[in-house]
Amino acid sequence: MNKFRFLGIIALAAIIGFSTTSCGDNGGGGGGGWLGMELTFTNAQVTVWDDYNDVITSFDGNRLVVLAGYWEHGNGSEWVSVGEDGAITDGRFTFSIGEPLFASLNYANVHNWYVELNDMFSALSIAPTGAQFASLWFSTPYPDEEVLLRTRGTETLRELLWYIWADHDVTITGTSGSDSWEEGGVTYTMIVDSLNLNLQRGWNAVLMREQSGATSTRVTISHSHPNLPWVLFPEYDYYNND
């Protein structure tokens, strides 16, 4: 097992030390992890990561489009737009999607979300085996080039939401594991709790929580939908904080 330097952990590591609270209307959140056959966000307040001052502030600007899409399973990894873009207007995010607009979800290990899970668990199992899924992704185009995430964090607790479409009810399980490494003469340990996700057909929210102590970190993944803030990150910061 590696040190879990996968997509979500990198994003959360980039924002260690900030704290935010959810603000705005209709951001979507609270309750269980199944969200139905349609996923909608209306006038959700967006915040922005100020890289220069290392703080999170409210965003009141506009983005011409917020690109939304998913990685389609198949013989290779292919990015597919959902066909209906969202928008941030005066700092408020609006977006809606029903069933993803693609003919089939041919399951393959190239899918980003699956790869991230596979990095974390020594024995990942999906039942039924024919179940197929995709993850939703938001970013802004050139020249802004940002990623839009639902996340929050403090020095000891970091959280990140994934939005996952499943074409069947599906159970995903994984065996717990741990990894240790040494930095500056100190041994650090990361523990990942066993995985037991029961996704339903339609849109699901999956929460990753990373709780840290002085030398240890525990990661849990659950089928839940807390009301986390929407945060814009510059793409360069997001991909280069490892």
Mean pLDDT of 23-44: 76
- Write out the two tokens for 98: 């029903």
- Spatial CA neighbour of 189 closest among 201, 177, 197, 198: 177
Q: Quick: pLDDT tens for 67-80.
A: 666 655 444 555 66
Q: Quick: pLDDT tens for 188-220.
A: 998 989 999 999 999 999 999 999 999 999 999
Q: Quick: pLDDT tens for 76-114.
A: 555 666 656 788 999 999 988 888 765 443 333 224 566
Residue-level pLDDT at 140? 82
As a whole-number percent, the residues of the chain with pLDDT over 70 amount to 68
pTM for this model (two decimals) = 0.80
Residue-level pLDDT at 104? 40
Residue-level pLDDT at 32? 80
Mean pLDDT of 177-188: 90
Question: Residue holding tokens 């005066």?
Answer: 90
Dihedral angle sign, alpha carbons of residues 29, 63, 101, 172: negative
Neighbours of 140 (CB within 10 A): 19
| Residues near 138 by beta carbon (within 8 Å), at least 6 away in sequence | 66, 67, 68, 86, 95, 147, 148, 149
Residue-level pLDDT at 10? 41
